[in-house]
Chain A
Amino acid sequence: MKFTCLSKGGGSNFPPCYILDFGGFRVLFDCPIDFSALTIFSPVPTDFDDIINEETSDCAAHKSSDAETVAQKRRKLEKPLDVNDLICAEPWYKTVNNLHLWNVSFIDIVLISSPVGMLGLPFLTQIKGFSAKMYVTEAAARIGQLMMEDLVSMHMEYRQFYGLEESTAPEWMKWEELELLPSALRNIALGKDGAEIGGWMPLYSAAHVKDCMSKVQTLKYAEETCYNGTLIIKAISSGLEIGACNWIINSPKGNISYISGSIFFSGHAMDFNYHALQGCDLILYSDFSSLDSTEDIDQSSLSNESSNWEELSKSLSNCEESSKEMEKLDFICSCAIDSVKAGGSVLIPVNRVGVILQLLEQIVMFLESSSLKIPIYIVSSIAEELLAYTNVIPEWLCKQRLEKLFSGEPLFAHIDLIKEKKIHVFPAVHSPKLIINWQEPCIVFSPHWSLRLGPTVHLLRRWRGDHNSLLVLENEVDADLALLPFTPMSMKVLQCSFLSGIKPQKIEPLLKILQPKLVLFPEDLRSHVRFSNINSSSVSYYTENETIHLPRLKESSELEISSDLASQFRWRILKQKNMNITRLKGELLINHGKHQLLSGNDQADPSENKPLLHWGSPDPENLLAELSKMGINGFVERSMTDAGSEEAFTVHVQNPEKALIEVRTEGTIISAPDENLASRIFEAIENILEGI
């Protein structure tokens, strides 16, 4: 059993990625895209001002001699980053580089734990020889597919601008070009040691997405699926996002659970179901969210030595973080209200579906309470379908939302808000309906959070000079770099991080409740969490790109023996060892993660139930005594030929007929003239040997 962390990711939009070798199968956890790297590209230059800018500044430089250009570009290294440093080309997308070091055709299973965790899947399914079975929850698959389709359609804008690219590596990927990049961009493109250039991929097409989705197997929460008869795989809700999950793999060799970023109390998705993870032998802890946590860890609360189950679960059910999360949303809303009151507009390019849905409800409430009639626009090619979808999936939502189903109300308020024309949904910035309806100030939700793709780019260009307008950014982007193409920015920027995992103070009580034998824990988090005493579990720490060999989880495989076979057992008692043994013969059935031994077709003939295996050493006196009990007499001749082995001897049988018994340490040879005598002698020898 081996385990490798391919990438520790970065935030909830770029989850970690692992490979696990278990029971002869290779499992890949998640296949995301690192969109934060997209910021090294320049957004599509549609704005007239930009083109003018480029012509005046950059083109002037280009007109000078080649040598000079290089020199000038070199000089840029020292200067702070400039708009023109960004790569002007159709962007490629950065995937988990270390994954490309593995032969993906040897991956057997892919487990996806959130919608963003599957965005890189079409890259894999394009590869010839890739044949792994991919499991995704139904809701994550639907939302993930919509995100991929949206990505492809947003990317089209680049393709239309730059034209079709030749299949070879683009200009910007050439070493001489990369060398010239400012160090900040070069680090993103190449990684620290320059190896990460291999992770860049040209975007997949809509056909690739379709093909990929047709190969994905979707699951419900807690639906058991069986891989190859031996592994039972289950997705358990993690609370992070609609459809997001943790995984349980059961096998006769042990049980493993994979804990991704999990949220105990969600305002939208079904809560983190940690009870289902109880009793696993191994926990792969992959929630890196506490790394970004800015809160001071209260050491005193950590050091509580309680191992009382009730107290532990009480400490987990403390829902402080969810109320903090609501406060955060309220704060964003109040900032938005301030902006629109001042006549500015608000742009919210947030990626998390659950956060958007909650924000929509909150903002409408805030607008109503301050009796403002400000339109809310959602501009995205997939918004209509996504919003319709979120209202038909009560099975995937948290308890409060579910209660709405049972009382016959819509799951999310947006369905009614759209009908009441408080929210308007448009597929793109250039859609005719938008142009007719557009009013400013307004509040706009649109992709993409990297500020390089989608309607966001156009709206940001429109409002960047308005100091009353507000941009709400996720914390996962490097704001300076992301906003570089939009400088000078007069717009206000509100950068916020949303809850994306287990709080550090809850990790220890959680592991205490789950009681695994072994925990694999990120080395990076070692300083954030102190394990005072997790009952009997042992903790191993892992780092990125290091393979850890794990001990086997169970001493032996589980085997189930059918009762009709068990009823045929003939027990032999070994007195000296105080054990009962029996020979076992049947048919092995490997079915649904279980090894079962059934009685075979050839029913054992009871007369055939003779020992096949003997051990012990016959003693001449005992043998003679046994023989004489059966009316067989003879004499012993100590063998002289076998020097050193004192146990060797020969019995010459005289009565009833002549026969020979040769006894050596390793075996006995019976030679008798007829069957009857031979078998009687055999019986006598069996009586003084042990056998089965």
Chain B
Amino acid sequence: MAIECLVLGAGQEIGKSCAVVTINGKRIMFDCGMHMGYDDHRRYPDFSLISKSRDFDNAIDCIIITHFHLDHVGALPFFTEVCGYRGPIYMTYPTKALAPLMLEDYRKVMVERRGEEEQFTSDNISECMKKVIAVDLKQTVQVDKDLQIRAYYAGHVLGAAMVYAKVGDSAMVYTGDYNMTPDRHLGAAQIDRLQLDLLITESTYATTVRDSKYAREREFLKAVHQCVAAGGKVLIPTFALGRAQELCILLDDYWERMNLRVPIYFSAGLTIQANMYYKMLISWTSQKVKETYATHNAFDFKNVRNFDRSLIDAPGPCVLFATPGMISGGFSLEVFKRWAPSEMNLITLPGYCVAGTIGHKLMSGKPTKIVLDKDNQVDVRCQIHQLSFSPHTDAKGIMDLVKFLSPQHVILVHGEKPKMASLKKKIHSELGITCYDPANNESVYIPSTNYVKAGASDAFMQSCMNPNFKFLKRGSEEIPNASIQRCTKALSPLQVSDERVVEGILIMEKSKKAKVVHQDELLLKLGAKRHEVQFAYCCPVSVEKLEKTATTDLTPATNVSSVTDKCILIKKLFTKLSSEFSVGDFRNLGEYIRLESFQASICSKDSCPYRITNSFQNKSKAVFFCCTWSGPDEKLAWKIISTLENAI
């Protein structure tokens, strides 16, 4: 069976992440996001590609959402409530807690700003979230008999997870968005070394290598500090979750250290409530933040208070967090209109703004005027600071993760096409892993791993564990510089290896499970006795020639009957064979010589039944070596024999 990966979103682009993967017959949807840049049908993944009959319950075994960002969860209420998917949905605890806030925030903006028809209602969101099963990190969740999933810390936002899924013997990881370096409030991504057939990874920064985030954080703090010190007001338009808390931790901490008294405000409703979630979910933050929960919960911001509309025109400096981010409408737009005309004020913008928003306009060039509509325009004289830290991993992080996991195949998603292509090439050339970067609505097919299951007998397992020592002598010629070797003592002349042999017999019987046994057990099972087939050959060797080739002192072997003489002859033969056969480890066992199953001993019989050959005439000067061996060493044995005979 194969693994099929159908990319419904975030293929060669950023937005509406959605990948549907079929492994060994199980179909999993990873993320169900929406595209912020489109208002038409392109906003959602094309779900009809999953099932033409729109029978999603049977087409999909489960949905897994990696984190609460809209481009990963935005289409979920639509898919469950409008399209009618009723199967299981998995998220981490923080994602389940925070996703409905994001969805509700987005829904309001859509309806209020654009007066658009609702894609889904508040009820849809809460109904959808009821179906979600919350999971903890590293918890192994058995979705059904065959499908197993597990979440790992991804570090991108609170509760972000990388997801491991296993069906039968095939396994894969879908990273979602992740960050390989820790930041002020979140830790770095963490995952076990897993055996994977497939890794689907984000590639937002496919070619960028970034330095530490701390420098950029300092830049931000400096800009804010300068502004408030000069009596200006700072507007930070953000979404309710994630960035707001991250910046707030930075500011609150900075305020403490610098002993600043300038008020930090949260615009009504939004974030104070969100902080409640962060406080309870503090175990999902970085180690440093986590450790302090008992004395002071880092999300219990000391300097933060609620904002009141009347404070917009109040004199004096302040910092204000207001929704929505990107100044796409709502309260942040209202404040923007009032504050932008003063050059004392500062507006900080996130690293990425969707085209069409005021945030996008402010970032592209340095506009002095923003046209809101026919009748309204705003003079922009304030300073603009663009936040340049982003909780995505950079190219080095992606390469590190791919190298660490060493999967069989990699699929890149969530990135820009040209950069992905270059990363794909790099993964292939540097790591030798096949890599794909499919476009939306394309499928990738890769083979899956499968094991044959069998029972193994104790005797077989035992035999596998038995040590199998081999002693190899290192020839001196292998050592290029003997003096250096002697100094380092690195290589001893004798090398010991212990390559355990796993040999057994697999038995298949009708209506029984396959079983692996040791070969002795097979005979027992069959009730048969071993019948050994051996070869024998009584080989004549000329003594003179043997003596000539041997380097030991010459002793005429006139009487071969005495034991010592036998030993001397064996020794001579041993020396000769050892010198002529570089491969193999001959062993001199006194009475005979052995190599594998080949054995040679001196035959003192007058008429050995195995002395078949007639080729040798000069019997008086010959010594007979009786050789035996068994089947597998046939070739080797005949080679030795021909060497022996050639000595004649």
Of B134, B538, B610, B612, the most chain A CB neighbours within 10 A belong to: B612
Q: Check B533–A614 contact: CB distance below 8 A.
A: yes
Known contacts A615-B528, A669-B534: A234-B455 contact under CB 8 Å? no
Q: Is A222 an interface residue (CB 8 A)?
A: yes
- Within 8 Å CB of B134, what residues of A? 395, 402
Q: Is B456 an interface residue (CB 8 A)?
A: yes
- Within 8 Å CB of B100, what residues of A? 406
Q: Check B455–A558 contact: CB distance below 8 A.
A: yes
Interface size, chain B (Cβ < 8 Å):
76
- Within 8 Å CB of B139, what residues of A? 220-223
Residue on B with the closest CB to A384? B294
Contact of A393 among B97, B283, B510, B533 (CB under 8 A): B283
Q: Check A577–B526 contact: CB distance below 8 A.
A: yes
Of B273, B281, B509, B535, the most chain A CB neighbours within 10 A belong to: B535
Q: Is A670 an interface residue (CB 8 A)?
A: yes
Rounded to whole Å, the gap between the CB of A621 and the closest CB of chain B is 17
Per-residue CB proximity of B594-638 to A under 8 Å, as 1/0? Answer: 000000000000000110110000000000000010011011001
A558 vs B373: C-alpha distance when bound (angstroms): 72
- Within 8 Å CB of B631, what residues of A? 610-612, 682
Q: Check A557–B455 contact: CB distance below 8 A.
A: yes
Rounded to whole Å, the gap between the CB of A168 and the closest CB of chain B is 39
A569 vs B452: C-alpha distance when bound (angstroms): 12
Q: Check A580–B508 contact: CB distance below 8 A.
A: yes
- Within 8 Å CB of A391, what residues of B? 279-280
A584 vs B502: C-alpha distance when bound (angstroms): 8
| Interface residues on chain A, size class | 35 or more
Contact of B526 among A384, A615, A675 (CB under 8 A): A615
Q: Is B427 an interface residue (CB 8 A)?
A: no
- Within 8 Å CB of A666, what residues of B? 529-532
Per-residue CB proximity of B426-458 to A under 8 Å, as 1/0? Answer: 000000000000000000000001111111111
Name the interface residues of B530-579: CB closer than 8 Å to any CB of A.
530-538
Q: Check A617–B531 contact: CB distance below 8 A.
A: yes
A448 vs B570: C-alpha distance when bound (angstroms): 84
Known contacts A220-B136, A222-B139, A559-B455: A692-B505 contact under CB 8 Å? yes
Of A618, A667, A685, A686, the most chain B CB neighbours within 10 A belong to: A667
Stretch binding the partner chain, chosen from A305-313, A333-341, A519-527, A560-568: A560-568
Rounded to whole Å, the gap between the CB of B121 and the closest CB of chain A is 18
Stretch binding the partner chain, chosen from B46-54, B203-211, B516-524: B516-524
Q: Is A356 an interface residue (CB 8 A)?
A: no
Rounded to whole Å, the gap between the CB of A598 and the closest CB of chain B is 9
Q: Check B451–A563 contact: CB distance below 8 A.
A: yes
Name the interface residues of A495-527: CB closer than 8 Å to any CB of B.
none
Q: Check B297–A388 contact: CB distance below 8 A.
A: yes
Number of A-B pairs whose CB atoms are under 8 Å?
232
Name the interface residues of A655-681: CB closer than 8 Å to any CB of B.
658-660, 662, 665-673, 675, 678-679
Rounded to whole Å, the gap between the CB of A252 and the closest CB of chain B is 8
Q: Is A191 an interface residue (CB 8 A)?
A: no
- Within 8 Å CB of B510, what residues of A? 578-579
Q: Check A221–B136 contact: CB distance below 8 A.
A: yes
Q: Is B506 an interface residue (CB 8 A)?
A: yes
A608 vs B596: C-alpha distance when bound (angstroms): 15
Q: Is A355 an interface residue (CB 8 A)?
A: no
Q: Check B461–A614 contact: CB distance below 8 A.
A: no
Rounded to whole Å, the gap between the CB of B379 and the closest CB of chain A is 40
- Within 8 Å CB of A669, what residues of B? 534-536, 610, 628
Q: Check A614–B613 contact: CB distance below 8 A.
A: no
Q: Is A583 an interface residue (CB 8 A)?
A: yes
Q: Is A394 an interface residue (CB 8 A)?
A: yes
Q: Is A405 an interface residue (CB 8 A)?
A: yes
Contact of B634 among A220, A588, A591, A678 (CB under 8 A): A678
Q: Is B425 an interface residue (CB 8 A)?
A: no
Rounded to whole Å, the gap between the CB of B61 and the closest CB of chain A is 18
- Within 8 Å CB of A558, what residues of B? 453-456
Closest 7 CB pairs of A and B: A556-B455, A667-B532, A560-B451, A615-B528, A559-B456, A671-B610, A385-B294
Given pairs A614-B531, A617-B531, 6 additional interface contacts (CB within 8 A): A389-B294, A394-B280, A408-B273, A559-B456, A667-B533, A678-B535
Sample 26 A-B pairs with CB under 8 A, ordered by A number. A220-B137, A222-B136, A391-B279, A392-B279, A402-B93, A405-B281, A408-B273, A409-B276, A411-B280, A556-B456, A561-B453, A563-B452, A569-B506, A580-B509, A581-B506, A585-B501, A588-B464, A610-B631, A614-B532, A660-B612, A667-B530, A668-B531, A673-B612, A678-B634, A678-B638, A682-B533
Residues of A that sit less than 8 Å from B by CB: 219-224, 234, 276, 384-385, 388-389, 391-395, 402, 405-406, 408-411, 554-563, 566, 569, 571, 574, 577-588, 591, 595-597, 600, 608, 610-618, 658-660, 662, 665-673, 675, 678-679, 682, 685-686, 689-690, 692
